[in-house]
């Protein structure tokens, strides 16, 4: 019997590469999301620090110019925080998309792997069936030799 050969091996390898690439893309998206989360945390901390300094300056001095500068500084920090949050949302969306792509490529990969496994089992079943036929044929031939007085197999 010929050795086992799965005709879609090339496609299976392609699907494996696609799945591996999708997993790598997911890892990059998660790293970018984590970086965006750190940026949001830093922006929130900077905004809190700006408010604390504003309160401290407010108690020390009552000039309108200083009050306005600090208020503008706080507004700028809040704007930066919102920008960082929007960037984080975009990164989270990228992670969700990458996760969906990994799941999709995994399903396609598993479908081909199951097909290969079924083909392998069918090949093994056919090999066992052929072996059984050959063994039956040998048993029949031995029986025929013994009954016709041919070769004595009792040695």
Domain residue ranges of the chain, discontinuous segments joined by +: 9-116
d(CA 106, CA 127): 31
Residue 4 and residue 87 in contact, taking contact as beta carbons nearer than 8 Å: no
pLDDT band at 151 (very low <50, low <70, confident <90, very high): low
Tell me, what DSSP letter sits at residue 8?
T
Region 19-47 average pLDDT: 95
Tell me if residue 115 falls in helix, strand or coil. helix
pLDDT band at 132 (very low <50, low <70, confident <90, very high): very high
Tell me, what DSSP letter sits at residue 91?
H
**The two three-digit tokens of residue 76, written as one number:** 């700028």
Region 56-60 average pLDDT: 75
**The two three-digit tokens of residue 102, written as one number:** 């990994």
Region 65-82 average pLDDT: 85
pLDDT given at position 125: 96
pLDDT given at position 153: 52
Higher-pLDDT residue of 135, 77: 135
pLDDT beyond 70 at 155: no
Q: What are phi and psi of 110, to 5 degrees?
A: -60, -35
Mean pLDDT of the chain: 90
Identify the architecture of domain 9-116 in CATH. Orthogonal Bundle (1.10)
d(CA 133, CA 130): 5
């Amino acid at each position: 019997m010929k050795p086992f050969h799965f005709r879609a091996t090339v496609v299976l390898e392609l699907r494996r590469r696609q799945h591996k690439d999708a997993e790598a893309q997911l890892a990059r998206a998660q790293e970018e999301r984590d970086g965006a989360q750190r940026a949001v945390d830093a922006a929130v901390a900077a905004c809190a620090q700006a408010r604390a300094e504003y309160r401290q300056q407010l108690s020390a001095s009552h000039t309108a110019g200083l009050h306005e500068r600090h208020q503008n500084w706080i507004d700028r920090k809040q704007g930066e925080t919102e920008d960082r949050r929007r960037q984080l949302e975009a990164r989270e969306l990228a992670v969700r998309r990458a996760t969906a792509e990994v799941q999709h490529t995994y399903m396609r990969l598993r479908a081909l792997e199951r097909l290969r496994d079924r083909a392998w089992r069918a090949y093994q079943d056919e090999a066992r069936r052929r072996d059984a036929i050959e063994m039956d044929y040998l048993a029949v031939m031995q029986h025929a030799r013994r009954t016709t007085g041919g070769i004595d197999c009792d040695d």
